[in-house]
Chains A and B, each alone.
Chain A
Amino acid sequence: MSIGAPKWEGTDDYIASSDLARIVNVAVLLGRPLLIKGEPGTGKTLLASSIARGLNMELITWHVKSTTKAKDGLYVYDTVQRLYDSRFQDKDVSDIKQYIHLGPLGRSFAAPARAVLLIDEIDKADVEFPNDLLHELDAMTFDIPETGETIAAAQRPVVIITSNSEKELPDAFLRRSVFHYIEFPTEDLMSKIVQVHFPNLGAHMLQSAMNAFYRLRGVEGLRKKPSTSELIDWIGALMASGISPDSLDEEIPMLGVLLKREQDVGVAIRRLAASGKPRQGGLQR
């Protein structure tokens, strides 16, 4: 990494593996979009806000939905407001500028200082969506024909894009991006993550909870394996209910917090019982 460049290494509330930190810094340095994939619950979306905090930049978020169009990210021309205003004549409606609202991408270009732009769940939109953004992400500039303005980024924003691989992304889009796959945290990294959320958690409780959690993840045939966010919720629930760490070796209480599918709960109870290991406790959610 070149000297003087600001480096991101995770923040106190976001523990990043060293390879993730490395790739983030490369993307920041090269000014290329960073495409993040990984199992649900591995902190893809939270990454952007941690980068923003770590590098002291503004965070601009764009949550993509199935109906989102690429142009929405650039700007919206509020014709309805303009028509409305024209009836009362208290504003100069010939000044179109006041009816142009920049979208998230536009705002990240126009930001006075370098910003972090999160394009969340890009695969939710139409297959053409990523391609429609190619030019803007490359050149970091676009025109607004209604006003004749050009919005150009003085500093290339740090663009973080997350995908759940629901649709394939076009090659031309991929070629321009830096790619990282967040693997499920190892027990070691996971312990650190848990400790960030529960600094007062005892070592014994932590170990028992981690054992039970990874035992459950090892069960074959689960449709949706429990992930980090479920583990955090579960430990929170354990602490609130005052369950003793030793009992976790016997049974996994509040399984519904960890497994969100009815089917999976059944599978887990059967498999864990069959393996002669812990039985499931209460099914209360």
Chain B
Amino acid sequence: MSAVAPLLFGELFFGLRREGLKIGLAEWLGLMDALKRGAVAHTLDDFYYVARALLVKSEAHFDTFDQVFAAVFGGQALSQDAVKALLDWLENPIVPQLTPEMIAQLEKLPLEQLRRMFEERLQEQKKRHDGGNRWVGTGGTSPFGHGGQNPAGVRVGGSGGGRSAIQIATAREFRKYRHDQVLDTRAISVALKKLRRLSRRHADLELDVDESIDQTCRNAGDLTLCFTPPRKNEARVLLLMDTGGSMDPYSHMVERLFSAAHALQHWKKFEAFSFHNCVYEELEPGREDHPDDEGIMTADLLRERPSETFLILVGDAYMAPTELLDPWGAIHYYHHNRTPGIVWLHRLRKRFPRAVWLNPISERGWHGWTIKIIQEVFPMFPLTVDGIDRAVAQLVKSTPEPVRPLSSMYPELREFDHLDDLAL
């Protein structure tokens, strides 16, 4: 029977990996080591906290851990036999050997299937009494659904008066720390800080005082001067924000991104402008409540800002197709754009190869036709801390992916491809 319990822990481990947590063999073996050395009392509660401390290294992932933990150990998921097997094993854990091949194989199984395999395996072993060594098994009945109620049978060992691990896991109190749902200004700045281009190129050498003193003293007092070039962040960041009507529900999110970026003082230059639904000839100032800020002609922006500038567009990419594709299509009645919005977007992308689009709508909702069109031009990421993280990783890539020529996407817009150079 003892060979069955590790399966459950395997299920936890692979469940976490499948949910995207970067947990490797080192963490797994660390947990096994802790079990072997008796760091865990023989209760599920103790196991919950110790496993979380050793497997999860950010509060942003606690919620994911809770969900997987509840799916594996919670609700009605475990039979009495499984509980007993679990307790026996915690008493005297034998660490299963995992090879990279096994991991690769296991990774592909959905959690539900793994659980069903586990239950089957358990039945099999009961019949045969062979305590088999195929530790990878089989799973049961319940996927993520859990009733929030915890039958006494599962609360192995019981907890000293407090709430049980399953109760904590199902309460999902750490949802507020999730980085794929919550936009926390502080977490945004941490993500944006990785947007840098460090260079010693343009800097004059500076006297390294500490090193000079040290070297001089080692040199028996003969003055030895040491110079180092200071590292400077050469990154320039350009933020273009959609302030059109459909963005109103998301304005607080954009506001947070803006204030985090604005307060960062981390880049050589940071500029922000805004547009309505789509970019045309002219961009408005980034902050409506700052009358001194000025807008800019898009052509000037394209001409004057260095091409290595990081460009971040924020918008729901949701508009009438005519606003994007037709000349004279702008939503404002008095705005006469001879050039369709898509052409301007394409020019921006061509001029600034390091460009991303952040969309406040969650990825599942990216169905709109115009969203698909804009995705052809810009790599799109959700406006969440995770999304910003991924966007920054895309921006700092050493070789940005080139954008397809506009005429290959829209033959009818060929004339604008040709006009590009003239317009600029």
Q: Which residues of A contact B (CB under 8 A)?
A: 1-2, 18-19, 22-23, 25-27, 29-30, 32, 35, 37, 77, 79-80, 82-83, 86, 165-168, 171, 174-181
Which B residues between 185 and 227 are near A, CB-CB below 8 angstroms?
Answer: 186-187, 190, 193-194, 213-214, 216-218, 220-221
Q: Across the two chains, which residue of chain B brings its CB closest to A18?
A: B162
- Shortest B44–chain A CB gap in Å is 13
- A171-B22 contact in complex given A22-B49, A180-B53, A181-B59, C-beta closer than 8 Å: yes
Confirm or deny: B94 has a beta carbon within 8 angstroms of a beta carbon on chain A. no
Complex Cα gap A180–B162 (Å): 18
Q: Is the CB of B39 within 8 A of A166?
A: no
- The reply to whether A181 and B217 form a contact with Cβ atoms under 8 Å apart is no
Docked-complex contact B220 and A1, CB < 8 angstroms:
no
Residue of B nearest to A76 (CB): B214
- In the complex formed, the residue of B with least CB distance to A168 is B190
Q: Which residues of B contact A166 (CB under 8 A)?
A: 186, 190
Hey, which chain A residues are within 8 Å of B214, CB to CB? 77, 79
User: Which residue of the partner chain, among A23, A79, A167, A179, contacts B58 with CB atoms under 8 Å?
Assistant: A179
User: Which residues of chain A are near B217, meaning CB under 8 Å?
Assistant: 79-80, 82-83
B376 close to chain A: CB less than 8 A: no
A32 to B33, CA, bound (A): 12
Tell whether B258 is near chain A: CB-to-CB under 8 Å: no
| Chief secondary structure at chain B's binding surface | helix
User: Could you say which residues of chain A place their CB within 8 Å of the CB of B53?
Assistant: 23, 26-27, 178-180
Q: Contacts A18-B160, A83-B220 given: A30-B39 contact, CB under 8 Å? A: yes
Contacts of B37 in A (CB 8 A): 2, 29-30
Residue pairs across A and B with Cβ atoms less than 8 A apart, 25 shown, are A1-B38, A1-B39, A2-B38, A19-B49, A22-B50, A23-B50, A25-B39, A26-B34, A29-B34, A29-B37, A30-B33, A30-B37, A37-B59, A77-B214, A80-B213, A80-B217, A83-B216, A83-B220, A86-B220, A168-B190, A168-B194, A175-B26, A175-B57, A177-B57, A178-B53
Bound Cα distance from A179 to B56, whole angstroms: 7
Q: A23 to B49, Cβ gap below 8 A?
A: yes
Chain B residues with CB under 8 Å of A19's CB are 49
Residue of A at shortest CB range from B61? Answer: A179
Given A79-B218, A86-B220, A167-B193: A30 and B46 interface contact (C-beta under 8 Å): no
**Distance A179 CA – B59 CA, assembled complex (angstroms):** 9
| Residues of B contacting A25 in the complex (Cβ-Cβ under 8 angstroms) | 39
Q: Does B62 contact A (CB under 8 A)?
A: yes
Within 8 A of A (CB), among B291-306: none
Interface band, chain B: 35 or more
- Report chain B residues within 8 Å CB of A1: 38-39, 41
A94 to chain B, nearest CB (A): 12
Q: How far apart sit A167 and B38, CA to CA, in the bound complex (Å)?
A: 34
Given A23-B50, A26-B39, A171-B22, 20 new contacts (CB under 8 A)? A1-B39, A2-B38, A25-B39, A26-B34, A26-B40, A30-B34, A30-B37, A77-B214, A79-B213, A79-B218, A80-B213, A83-B217, A83-B220, A165-B190, A175-B24, A176-B26, A177-B57, A179-B53, A180-B53, A181-B59
**Is B91 part of the binding interface, using a Cβ–Cβ cutoff of 8 Å?**
no
B182 lies within 8 A of chain A by Cβ:
no
A251 to B112, CA, bound (A): 55
CB distance from B258 to the nearest CB of A (A): 16
Q: How far is the CA of A233 from the CA of B221 in the complex (A)?
A: 52
**In the complex, how many angstroms separate the beta carbon of B194 from the nearest chain A beta carbon?**
8
Question: 8 closest pairs, A vs B, by CB?
Answer: A79-B217, A2-B38, A174-B57, A181-B59, A83-B217, A26-B39, A179-B57, A23-B53
Asked if A178 and B54 sit within 8 Å, CB to CB, the answer is yes
**Which residues of A sit under 8 angstroms from B221, Cβ to Cβ?**
83, 86
Closest Cβ–Cβ distance, residue A5 to chain B (whole Å)? 8
Interface residues of B in 209-267 (CB under 8 A from A): 213-214, 216-218, 220-221
CB contacts (< 8 Å) of B58 on chain A: these are 174, 179
Q: Identify the closest chain A residue to B62 (Cβ).
A: A181
Among B40, B216, B217, B220, max chain A CB count under 10 A is at B217
1/0 per residue B16-39: CB within 8 Å of A?
000000101011001001100111
* Minimum CB distance partner of A17 in chain B: B162
